[in-house]
Amino acid sequence: TLGQAGRFFHFGLTSSDILDTATALQLRQAGFLLLKDLNALQKVIREKAWQYRHLPMIGRTHGIHAEPITLGFKLAGWYFEVKRNISRLKNAIAEISVGKLSGAVGTYSNIPPEVEQYACECLQLKPESFSTQIIPRDRHAVFLSVLGLIAASAERVALQIRLLQQTELAELAEPFQKGQKGSSAMPHKRNPVLTERICGLARVIKKNVAVSLDNIALWHERDISHSSAERLIFPESTILLDYILTLLTSILEKLEVFPEHLERNLQHTRGLIFSQAVLSRLIEKGLSRVTAYEIVQRYAFQTVKEKSDFLTVLKNAPEIKEILPATELEECFQSRKFLRHLDQLFLLLEKEKD
């Protein structure tokens, strides 16, 4: 159909020369779009982290109340994770931005390397150093692995919001539109369906990472077991991740925060969250760590059993009254002391402004 020029169309090449080079262009462009998404997400998280940098909340480990943090502190952790993912994606884009025009098994037997060099320069790609009949699939696995990491990070944020929206906590909530139904059966429900959707779709991308790793091992100089899978995992992973990042950015922009519930949950254990401060003070007073720990733990468990106030229990404890004056004991129960170094940490976030 090309007439005389048809004699030189595909001359000296194999199909994978064209397909793999074109795939590199597609993945590079998809990567640039995802970078835009990540930058938008990073901006929103930074603004929210700065807004809530002084809003105290309880930190949790194993799902159990630990010590005070702030909501901004939690968000700042997400911010720097997104920042790392931006760096990873830039590297992955560079990794995937290679072309190949080296012929049937990559030996340039019917086409000189100069043609590959010229074509790749035109396309702003690097020539693959040593190809077989295809570009080695470890490059694609790196790209997909980074997409999987980004999806997992988005899932982590979404899961945190879901957990903090639980009825018993009610500290945060994803946006809920006017007229939206939480449950078809129970009108009172306000389910975290958006963040649940993110967690579900992230699983698909993470699953695709395993497929990309399986695609590395091919028979000799090539087979085509990888290509059928790639027709699914490349578009699916990039499109889904674009959707996840856009949705998460929108959720965080409209995130609802309930300061009164944050404060209520801070007070839930009636002061037990300051046990480490008391422990440290007793050690400073000369008690061994083992002895101090046993004392504080015993009175902590007594507080839980009696549903009493931890500070009051400690003030009446004979072992503690002997060595720790009430004024010093009260100092251990000031949540602001736990947060005194946060301003130094937030200087890092302030530097990220530009």
142, 152, 236, 339 from 207: Cα distances, Å: 14, 11, 11, 40
Cα separation, 139 vs 92, in Å, equals: 8
Q: How high is the pLDDT of residue 300?
A: 96
Other Cβ atoms less than 10 A from the Cβ of 49: the count is 23
In the chain (354 residues long), the average pLDDT of successive 10-residue segments reads 90 92 98 98 96 94 94 95 98 97 91 94 95 92 98 98 96 87 81 96 98 92 87 97 98 97 95 94 94 95 95 93 90 77 81 72
- Give the chain's largest Cα–Cα span: 103
pLDDT at 288: 95
The pLDDT of residue 316: 93
Separation of alpha carbons 261 and 257, rounded Å:
9
Radius of gyration of the CA atoms of the chain, in A? 29
Give 256's strand partners.
173
Find the distance separating the first CA and the last CA of the chain, reported in whole Å.
55
Quick one: tokens of 281? 């003070």
Residues 6+ apart with CB under 8 A from 152: 202, 206
User: What pLDDT score does 225 carry?
Assistant: 79
Catalytic site residues? 62, 183
Q: Using alpha carbons, select from 198, 191, 171, 190 the residue that is nearest to residue 52.
A: 171
Tokens 């040593």 found at: 130
**Alpha-helical regions (H) of the chain:** 15-51, 71-96, 113-123, 138-164, 193-214, 225-253, 259-266, 275-284, 289-306, 310-315, 318-321, 326-331, 335-338, 342-351
Cβ atoms within 10 Å, residue 169: 18
Q: What is the pLDDT of residue 354?
A: 59
Structure tokens at 126: 């690097």
The pLDDT, as a whole number, for residue 336 is 67
The answer to whether the beta carbons of residues 55 and 76 sit under 8 Å apart is: no
| Other residues' Cβ atoms within 10 Å of the Cβ of residue 300 | 20
Beta strands 172-173; 256-257: pairing state: antiparallel
CA distance 161 to 270: 25
What type of residue sits at position 88? R
User: Cα angle vertex 132, ends 130, 136, to 5°?
Assistant: 75
Task: Decide if 116 contacts 20 (C-beta within 8 A).
Answer: no
pLDDT of residue 15: 92
Provide the whole-model pTM. Answer: 0.92
- Cβ-Cβ contacts under 8 Å for 127 (sequence gap 6 or more): 98, 99, 100, 101, 113, 116, 117, 120
